[in-house]
Amino acid sequence: MKIACIGTGFVGVVTSSVMAKLGHEVVGLDIDQKRLDSLKQGIVPFYEPGLQELLLETQQSGNLTFTTDYQTAITGAQVIMIMVGTPSAPDGQADLKYVFASSESLAPYLSPGAIVVLKSTVPPGTNDHVRAIISQHTNITFDIASVPEFLKEGTAVADTLHPDRIVLGVDSDHARQVLTELHSQLTDNIIVMKSESAQMCKYAANNYLATRITFINQIADLCEKNGADIQEVIEGIGQDKRIGSHYWYPGLGYGGSCFPKDVKEIASYAASIGESESLFIKIDDLNEKRIGKMMAKYEELVGGFAGKTVAVLGLSFKKNTNDTRVAPSLKVIPSLIEKGANVRVTDPKSITEIKPLLPDTVVYCSDPYEAITGANITILLIEWDDYQNLDLGKVASLMLGDKYFIDTRNQYNPSKVANAGLKYKGTGR
């Protein structure tokens, strides 16, 4: 099957490579020629485990090509996937200008029976707009469908090759048949529904997960006040099958390119349809304030940051990615510097990306021990594998003064840290 993938951002590169791996003829389209030039050489413009290998393999097999030309990409394609960005508009809703522009550009080259699939996260009702735009530029019959993407950065290739489920939002038998056949190569668990429902699935999933994180952070805050240990509480509640024990990592709140944006977006979308008293506004507000609240606690604990040396481990928004969008480091480090701290930082993958975004006085180190050398306080922000099993004796020997070890993601056993001669501070314990 010929598949055109419009947009070679994160979702676009992963999806086009995976579809090509399944044996389809995939043409990736982007208006950014420089980006395509590097993709053609197998260079992925971001760090994602396993993606470069897949990109090279599928191009070498001849299944995956890239172009800036709509006619080349769309002519003869049975499925056209739109995976362009949907940045936040000033009112918090998704700005759909790229979705609409690509719909207009692809329309003249559509083949009869082609299916235009929206994979970008868009509000319910967008399909009608896209249908109207395309219909202004072609007389042929086509379908519009919604297939939301649930992959996570850091595990994107595995998530796409082995999804928990595929949600197909379709409005015709033809689209259902073709898209079911296409996705049955990935999983048997295909859930077919109306396109509006599929779009709500995407918003609901991300907003539920963001709510879950905010919830456990609120419980963690209570534990800090009453001597409970949040990790024990998680173990206790997680045994209830309705609750489950996974995806419960308290910390400094959620970041990245999706949750903060999708929560703001649904809050704004809810207000736009007359549902202004929503939970989502509160979730967003709590998450926005979370780092400031935690930094104030740390400041009090260590007796102020002025003149202290602080080592910060982990600068990306989570492990296994160099994506720094809404990364905790972007709030934590400027706040430390403003309070008069000397800051030494390290990260396995994202130093190049973060450097232009942080104050010039930050000292960059090539590994955690170098960052910790001479530090009074260590803050573990992101649990990269390299930072999960630090030699605590060595850490203690390299640090000076009170030697606070702030483990924001509860990766360490508090007693072991204390036994090494460090002062432990976790989240909610």
Active site residues: 258
Rounded-to-integer distance, Cα 121 and Cα 269, Å: 13
What is the SS3 assignment for 109?
helix
Is residue 251 within the footprint of ligand UGA (CB under 6 A)? yes
212 vs 423 by CB, closer to ligand UGA? 212
The position carrying tokens 């314990």 is 429
The position carrying tokens 């963001």 is 210
Rounded-to-integer distance, Cα 268 and Cα 260, Å: 12
Beta carbon of residue 50, minimum distance to ligand UGA (angstroms, whole number): 15
How many residues lie near ligand UGA (CB under 6 A)?
A: 19
CB-based burial, 72-102: b 16+ in 10 Å, e otherwise: ebbeebbbbbbbbbbeeeeebbbebebbbeb
Beta carbon of residue 245, minimum distance to ligand UGA (angstroms, whole number): 11
Q: Which two tokens stand for residue 23?
A: 């044996």
Is residue 318 within the footprint of ligand UGA (CB under 6 A)? yes
Is residue 92 within the footprint of ligand UGA (CB under 6 A)? no
Is residue 213 within the footprint of ligand UGA (CB under 6 A)? yes
Q: Contact at 8 Å (CB) between 193 and 167? A: yes
Q: Which two tokens stand for residue 145?
A: 């469908």
Beta carbon of residue 321, minimum distance to ligand UGA (angstroms, whole number): 7
Beta carbon of residue 344, minimum distance to ligand UGA (angstroms, whole number): 22
What binding mask, one character per residue, do residues 253-292 give for ligand UGA by CB under 6 A, x or -? -xxx-xx---------------------------------
10 vs 109 by CB, closer to ligand UGA? 10
79 vs 216 by CB, closer to ligand UGA? 216
Burial of 138 (0-12, 13-18, 19+ CB in 10 A): middle
Sign of CA dihedral 325, 327, 333, 339: positive
Is residue 384 within the footprint of ligand UGA (CB under 6 A)? no
Residue type, 218: Q
142 vs 254 by CB, closer to ligand UGA? 254
161 vs 375 by CB, closer to ligand UGA? 161
Q: Which residues bind ligand UGA (CB under 6 A)?
A: 149-153, 206, 209, 213, 247-249, 251, 254-256, 258-259, 317-318
